[in-house]
Amino acid sequence: MDKLTVTREHRPDDIAVTIGPSRIGNGEFLLIAGPCAVETPEQMAGIVAMLAGNPAGMLRGGAFKPRTSPYAFQGLGRDGLVLLREAADRLGIPVLTEVTDTTHLELVLEFADAIQIGSRNMSAYELLKAVGRQSKPVVLKRGMAATVREFLYAAEYIVAGGNEQIILCERGIRSFDPTYRNVVDLNTVAWLKAHCPFPVVVDPSHGSGRVDLVTPLSRAAIAAGADGLMVEVHPNPGCARSDGDQSLDPAAYRDWHRACLDLARFMGRTC
């Protein structure tokens, strides 16, 4: 097997990642929230209102959406990035958004403070090389059937390009049970915290596909050692153009926010 430098054997200490005014890792806890896809100015105004009351450390939202069907809403592209940037600026927090192809990277970097590599692209190695050659932080989501070893090597691609500002994201693995969209794998969170220096966030929205499971899974992730959470929120999930079933509405987001921060503080995290 080839060398692997993204483990504590080579980098014993926690690596904290800084995104503008926000920080994650080495004891600092980060909430990332936002819609699945940027849809309209009205939707983004609703998001701003939600996050103004219960602050997150980073705004997430998709402008280039990887959708199973070519006929499903593919995102607003550049217009979506503009709306996302404006919303984040109003909140004074950084922007995280996904890049799904190397040819979009330059455009996305104009607007984003951190780049998301989605689950479907964890093994898109040319894309990993490309985000490794630039310096903004990268949220690397685990592939839906990727082993821990494959996940680490994907991070190694980014590090090999020169970028060590990596946040690993566990977002659920594919299982045999149709009850859930995916199953959150906290074995991997606990393993990563023990063996890998990068901050780890958990995405319970994709990790379950069900809004009723988001809070208990979020709290479980914190107790397993996660450094942050990423959730999908929407001012009106019933009207969302994607992922409505797993998006928190304003009331649920408020309850989730308090439940998570209380536990993170109990676990000794700074937040």
> From the list 11, 120, 136, 254, which residue makes contact with its own copies (rule: CB under 8 A)?
120
How far is residue 251's CA from residue 183's CA, in Å, rounded to a whole number?
A: 25
How far is residue 95's CA from residue 61's CA, in Å, rounded to a whole number?
A: 8
Tell me the window of 9-17, 148-156, 163-171, 237-245 that interacts with its own copies (CB under 8 A): 148-156
Q: Should residue 72 be labelled a site residue for its own copies when binding is judged by CB under 8 A?
A: yes
Q: Should residue 104 be labelled a site residue for its own copies when binding is judged by CB under 8 A?
A: yes
> From the list 15, 16, 109, 148, which residue makes contact with its own copies (rule: CB under 8 A)?
148
How far is residue 135's CA from residue 161's CA, in Å, rounded to a whole number?
A: 10
Tell me the window of 20-28, 38-46, 81-89, 127-135 that interacts with its own copies (CB under 8 A): 127-135
Q: Which helix (H) or strand (E) holds 95?
A: strand 95-98
Q: Residue 221: exposed, middle, or buried by beta-carbon count in 10 A (0-12, 13-18, 19+)? A: buried
C-beta of 58 vs 189, nearer to its own copies: 189
What's the closest the beta carbon of residue 130 comes to its own copies, in angstroms?
9
Q: Which residues contact 59 (CB under 8 A, 6 or more apart)?
A: 32, 33, 34, 47, 51, 84, 87, 88, 91, 93, 94, 95, 96
Q: Which helix (H) or strand (E) holds 261?
A: helix 250-266
> From the list 51, 169, 221, 231, which residue makes contact with its own copies (rule: CB under 8 A)?
221
C-beta of 110 vs 262, nearer to its own copies: 262
Q: Should residue 1 be labelled a site residue for its own copies when binding is judged by CB under 8 A?
A: yes
Residues that bind its own copies (CB under 8 A): 1-4, 66-72, 100-104, 120-121, 123-129, 144-145, 147-150, 153, 156-157, 160, 172-180, 183-191, 193-194, 207-208, 212-213, 216-217, 219-225, 263, 266
